[in-house]
A and B are shown apart, each in its own frame.
Chain A
């Protein structure tokens, strides 16, 4: 227990030390605290409102096996389960193996694995996110105010248990991910699968509703389905903690004990597996590493024989080997699939996915130099000019955008059958052109923002890790790229408005094709040139920033 408490103290000492060192970290922390307080207050207000739902069960479509609070129970268990899964996955994807309290940092001290694991778990529970979670769930007890004293008391205890379960599951996933997936290629693949899986999961409700899948189910059956689904979830580690207050309210002691047993087994399994992972990692460190070889010089052979060509070849080679950025290039396929599911035979909607593709394609490039890391120093040492660097990078991203959009465009034309309908094909080409222009505008803007609005990224070897100070900037800076790209398409937008005002948009929309392409090309050229100038002026500041980012990754 002493070791565990020492780790908790260490966690907070590190936090205070970081706050003392950096004003920006202090600002970010204050912002996080305000967000936490707001979360608790909003949850409290929502809980007060949700408490009023308790009368709906009697006359609503849900079966009354939980009396008049059936709606509340189904909602809480399903949403609570979703919350648990989301927290665990987000922890894995975004926050990951925290760079400060990583078990590897304690390898030298010979702490017993169980003590270390327990300490790290407790340190996690004492953090701001966990405290916010517990307080929010405790405040949520307000929604049970009509369910009786037992439900209220159980809910207060269940709040802690729910967060403890989320923390245990998160630690389990992270431990398994870092311990079992040891090869570099395996890590890359695992990262891509997890992120894409999460996106697909989050899109599932949207697809189900918009695709009309539920239209064939009668309203009463829908209620039965939802209640049954909640009952199943209540017996899983994800929903058990959220079911406890309702067991207490229904005075069902057996169910209460059963659900508590599910939770206890979950904690024990998580703890045992995490401890096993710690031991395995300690004993097999470095053993699983396999060397990666590649014959010849790859992209350096066919890229232009110039300085920008060297920059482009290096970037292209890296994109193939970097899971953090490689994932961005799988997203467009997902967009097309999601839009195709929701299209309901309207082919234009599928074509619209290409605009999203173009818009999102350079989002990693908007922080591209941070992904390069300290390796960028090689270019600075070699006296590469800013414009040469920018041209090299644009070559790669523009090439990828054009090829990608062409393949997707041809695929959509064939898949939707629009190739046989000139009118629909012309509209498709317009939407394709807007997609390409969005890619160009985004890329042009990214060549500017990547010199100025940089934020830390995880190391390519540890894509699940979370450098300190990342969350704040990562939450804000990409919006500069996203909104800025839309603004850069404004010239085309103005022409479209004029055509609409003249009431000729229906027949003259094709005019927008050359305009939007010219718009995109112009913004790309401007962004590349300005980015080059900016990089020349900020070259050493960029190196210094990258050095500071690198220190956060260890």
Chain B
């Protein structure tokens, strides 16, 4: 079971030459970029996992963004990474997907060390680009064909899959429209499609449903769930706890560059609502700061806590009244505990 207080992670240590040569699963020596140092960890990395991270460390100036983070993501899981802003989620994902060189640590993708052959690792996964990380002066169809051909696919196959994806993502009508003329939601969908065109074994998605309308979002979720059922691994980073709770089989809560809790959604939630559990783990909640000058204009507004005449006693938020829901609530996806699951705390 995950613990609320994580065990202290071992800090990265400089390695001697002989140590660094004993890196697990070393591939062909294709070292274009500086290799991060890796100190042996108490729990060795798992080559069976879709993603296995050990002692990942990154510092920007004086700020430690990721502090010796370790995590295993099982194959076939729908894995949510959650955490407050600045927790280190995106930095971690960037280091795992070969977009940021770690200062120390190890990241394996399907048993292969990412930083031994970073281009091969990139081709085996599908990273969803952000809307401003695409060539938006191509049409939707061109962008998908481009994304496919960049991954080494033949033109005919890329074109055929691009048409399938456009249909699946309700973008067929906009296939010949320049992406810069798409709405925010359409752009998000084409970004997601471009990450899937080469049928990767692992999909890495950063806030995939942001700005996407509920209908398209539901359709996309179906596609992703189907993909995970066929053995694909989906890793999403999100702030929307209800989405993680509904869709993900596993979740890791990241705070201050470390994993607070990880495991199946049920394990991490520990019998509570996931959002409440999340707030408990990361902390930071405080009573509403009442500003005396922030006044909605209603007559007889109660005197504020900020004024000198009143007591500074914080007001305890009351339980929100829920409205009757005319629609049958959607059942959350069943969490599938994975036998290979490793809860890293």
A314 at the interface (CB under 8 A from B): yes
**B25 at interface, CB cutoff 8 A:** no
Residue of B at shortest CB range from A386? B32
Closest to B154 in A: A305
Add 13 more A-B contacts to A310-B150, A383-B123 (CB < 8 A).
Answer: A291-B178, A297-B159, A300-B146, A301-B155, A306-B149, A307-B152, A375-B134, A377-B129, A378-B150, A382-B123, A383-B98, A461-B180, A536-B32
Q: Are A381 and B122 in contact (CB under 8 A)?
A: yes
Q: Are A305 and B32 in contact (CB under 8 A)?
A: no
B135 touches A378 (CB 8 A): yes
Quick check: B154 and A378 within 8 Å, CB to CB?
no
Q: Is A288 an interface residue (CB 8 A)?
A: no
Q: What would be 14 A-B contacts, judged by CB atoms less than 8 Å apart?
A: A291-B178, A296-B176, A300-B155, A305-B149, A306-B149, A317-B142, A318-B138, A374-B132, A378-B133, A378-B134, A381-B97, A381-B99, A383-B120, A543-B99
Distance of B341 from chain A, by nearest CB (Å): 28
Q: At the interface, is chain A mostly helix, strand, loop or mixed?
A: helix
Cβ–Cβ < 8 Å partners of A307 in chain B: 149-150, 152
Q: A300-B155, A383-B122 are in contact. Are A309 and B99 (CB under 8 A)?
A: no
The CA of A381 and the CA of B99, in the complex, are separated in Å by 7
Proximity bits, B111-155, A CB within 8 Å = 1, else 0: 000000011111100010110111111110110011101111011
CB of A105 closer than 8 Å to a CB of B = no
Is B129 touching A378 in the complex (CB atoms < 8 A)? yes
CB distance A291 to B145 under 8 Å? no
Question: Shortest 7 CB-CB distances between A and B: which pairs?
Answer: A383-B122, A310-B149, A383-B119, A377-B133, A375-B135, A382-B150, A291-B181
Most A CB within 10 A of own CB, among B97, B135, B151: B135
A507 at the interface (CB under 8 A from B): no
Beyond A292-B177, A381-B99, whether A540 also contacts B138 by CB under 8 A is no
Residue count of chain A within 8 Å CB distance of chain B: 43
* With A300-B149, A306-B149: A321-B137 Cβ-Cβ less than 8 Å: yes
Report the minimum CB–CB distance from B44 to chain A (whole Å): 27
Closest CB of chain A to B154's CB: distance in Å?
A: 6
Q: Name the residue on A nearest B119 (C-beta).
A: A383
What are the residues of chain A within 8 A of B243 when measuring CB–CB?
none
A411 at the interface (CB under 8 A from B): no
Cα(A172)–Cα(B239), bound, Å: 46
Instruction: Indicate whether A537 reaches chain B with its CB closer than 8 angstroms.
Output: yes
Q: Does B33 contact A (CB under 8 A)?
A: yes
Does chain A have a CB within 8 A of B9? no
| Residues 91-122 of chain B, each 1 if its beta carbon lies under 8 Å from chain A, else 0 | 00000011111000000000000000011111
Provide the residues of chain A in CB contact with B133, threshold 8 Å.
Answer: 374-375, 377-378, 381
Contact of B137 among A293, A296, A322 (CB under 8 A): A322
A19 at the interface (CB under 8 A from B): no
In the complex, whether A28 has a CB less than 8 A from a CB of chain B is no
Known A293-B139, A294-B139, A297-B145; judge A379-B150 contact (CB<8 A). yes
Which residues of chain A have C-beta atoms less than 8 A from B149's C-beta?
300, 305-307, 309-310, 313
Cβ-neighbour of A378 out of B32, B159, B194 (below 8 A): B194
CA of A540 to CA of B98, assembled, Å: 9
Q: How many angstroms between the C-alpha atoms of A461 and B132 in the bound complex?
A: 13
CB distance B142 to A300 under 8 Å?
yes
Residues of chain A with a CB closer than 8 A to B130's CB = 377
> Are A297 and B150 interface neighbours, CB within 8 A?
no
- Which residues between 366 and 393 of chain A lie within 8 Å of chain B, taking CB atoms? 372, 374-375, 377-385
Does chain B have a CB within 8 A of A295?
yes
A67–B132 CA distance with the chains assembled, in angstroms: 64
Q: How far is the CA of A536 from the CA of B32 in the complex (A)?
A: 6
Contact B136 A375 (CB under 8 A): yes
Interface size on B, residues (CB 8 A): 42
B118 partner, pick from A295, A378, A383, A550, beta carbons under 8 A: A383
B96 to nearest A CB, angstroms? 12
Across the interface, do A293 and B176 meet the contact criterion of CB distance under 8 Å?
A: yes
Are A537 and B33 neighbours in the complex by a CB distance under 8 Å?
Answer: yes
Contact of B147 (CB < 8 Å), options: A305, A374, A382, A537: A382
Distance of A515 Cα from B100 Cα, bound (Å): 45
Determine which of B129, B142, B177 lies in contact with A381 in the assembled complex, contact meaning CB atoms within 8 Å: B129
Establish whether residues A378 and B181, one from each chain, have CB atoms under 8 Å apart when the complex forms.
Answer: no
Q: How far is the CB of B207 from chain A (nearest CB, A)?
A: 16
Residue of A nearest to B150 (CB): A382
Partner of B99, one of A314, A537, A540: A540
A460 CB within 8 Å of chain B: yes
> Which residue from chain A places its CB closest to the CB of B98 in the assembled complex?
A383
Closest-by-CB residue of B relative to A294 is B139
The reply to whether A381 and B127 form a contact with Cβ atoms under 8 Å apart is yes
Q: What CA separation (Å) do A321 and B180 show in the bound complex?
A: 12
Cα–Cα, bound, A545→B122 (Å): 21
* CA distance in complex: A540, B99 (Å): 7
* B-chain residues with CB within 8 Å of residue A253 when the two chains form the complex: none
A494 interface residue per 8 A CB criterion: no
Q: How far is the CB of B206 from chain A (nearest CB, A)?
A: 11
- Name, among A305, A311, A380, A385, the residue most crowded by chain B CB atoms within 10 Å (CB to CB): A380
Residues of A within 8 A of B134 (CB): 375, 378
Determine if A399 is an interface residue (Cβ-Cβ < 8 Å).
no
Which of B101, B122, B176 is the one whose CB lies under 8 Å from A382?
A: B122
Is residue A17 within 8 Å, beta carbon to beta carbon, of the partner chain?
no
User: Which B residue's beta carbon lies closest to that of A318?
Assistant: B137
- Chain A residue contacts of B32, Cβ below 8 A: 536-537, 539
Report whether A300 and B145 are in contact in the complex, using a CB–CB cutoff of 8 Å.
yes
The smallest C-beta distance from A547 to any residue of chain B, in angstroms, reads 9
Expressed in whole angstroms, the Cα–Cα distance for A318 and B179 within the complex equals 13
In the complex, which residues of chain A have a beta carbon less than 8 angstroms from the beta carbon of B127?
381
Do B121 and A383 touch (CB < 8 A)? yes
A502 within 8 A of B: no
Docked CA distance A47–B205 (Å): 65
A289 at the interface (CB under 8 A from B): yes
User: In the bound complex, do residue A289 and residue B142 qualify as a contact, i.e. CB atoms below 8 Å apart?
Assistant: no
Contact with A along B238-278 (1 / 0, CB 8 A): 00000000000000000000000000000000000000000
* Given A307-B152, A378-B135, A382-B151; A313-B121 close (CB under 8 Å): no
Tell me which residues from 512 to 554 in chain A have a Cβ below 8 Å from any Cβ of chain B: 536-537, 539-540, 543, 550
Residues of B within 8 A of A49 (CB): none
Q: Which residue of B lies closest to A293 (CB)?
A: B176
Give A250 to B280 CA distance when docked, in angstroms: 85
Residue in chain A with minimal CB distance to B195: A381
Of the candidates B99, B137, B145, which one forms a contact with A460 in the assembled complex, judged by CB atoms under 8 Å apart? B137
